[in-house]
Amino acid sequence: MPIRKTPEGCGVYVIRTPSGKCYVGSTISFRQRGYVHRSELRKRIHHCRSLQEEYDEHGEAALSFELIEICKPEDLLAREQAHIDSIGSDKLHNECFIAGKSTGYSLSVETRAKISAAKKGNKNALGIKRSDETRARMSEAQKLRFAKERLENREVA
């Protein structure tokens, strides 16, 4: 479904795939959420692995994005959960079967290791030993920057 023809609204949506399985979600903006799903699938970074695999195998044209129920924002999660329950977990791509929760979903050991490695180590060049020449150039650059700012502040005042 082209983005321009996607209905706008708050509600529960479903992404249907050729296997007969579907992904159920809820959103404040169906058009925006559909755009994000499509973008992530095209970039091959969608959070739902099985949906990404079907997209990769069959292409975007084989998936259908449908707004199945329009509701108030405060009713979104309850309505999404009702649809998840009515469809059944064996027919869903959803990795978590509780609306609005990620309970029961765990990251792979590889992903946890990548996150851990990314959070460790030098983030802002802390601890790097700079040569005297480099330190002198950095000092001069800062002095010029502050002098320029002081000059601009005087002109404004």
Q: What confidence score (pLDDT) does residue 83 get? A: 92
Q: Which of 104, 99, 93 is nearest to 77 (CA)?
A: 99
Q: What confidence score (pLDDT) does residue 2 get? A: 46
Q: What confidence score (pLDDT) does residue 1 get? A: 44
Summarize the confidence of residues 71-90 as an average pLDDT: 90
Summarize the confidence of residues 58-75 as an average pLDDT: 92
Question: Is the distance from CB of 24 to CB of 87 less than 8 angstroms?
Answer: yes
Domain that holds residue 141: 128-157
Give residue 98's identity as a one-letter amino acid code: I
Are 74 and 150 part of one and the same domain?
no
Are 83 and 106 part of one and the same domain?
yes
Are 114 and 136 part of one and the same domain?
no
Are 78 and 26 part of one and the same domain?
yes
Question: What percent of the chain shows pLDDT beyond 70?
Answer: 85
pLDDT digits (tens, 9 = 90+) for 136-152: 999 999 999 988 888 87
Q: What are phi and psi of 99, to 5 degrees?
A: -60, 130
Summarize the confidence of residues 129-139 as an average pLDDT: 92
Q: Which of 89, 11, 87, 98 is nearest to 50 (CA)?
A: 89
Considering only 18-22, 69-73, 92-96, which range has the smallest mean pLDDT?
92-96
Q: What confidence score (pLDDT) does residue 132 get? A: 94
**CATH label of the domain that carries residue 97:** 3.40.1440.10
pLDDT digits (tens, 9 = 90+) for 82-126: 999 999 888 999 877 777 765 556 778 898 888 888 777 766 666
Distance CA 91, CA 60 (A): 20
* Most distant CA pair in the chain, distance: 70
Are 36 and 113 part of one and the same domain?
yes
Summarize the confidence of residues 16-30 as an average pLDDT: 93
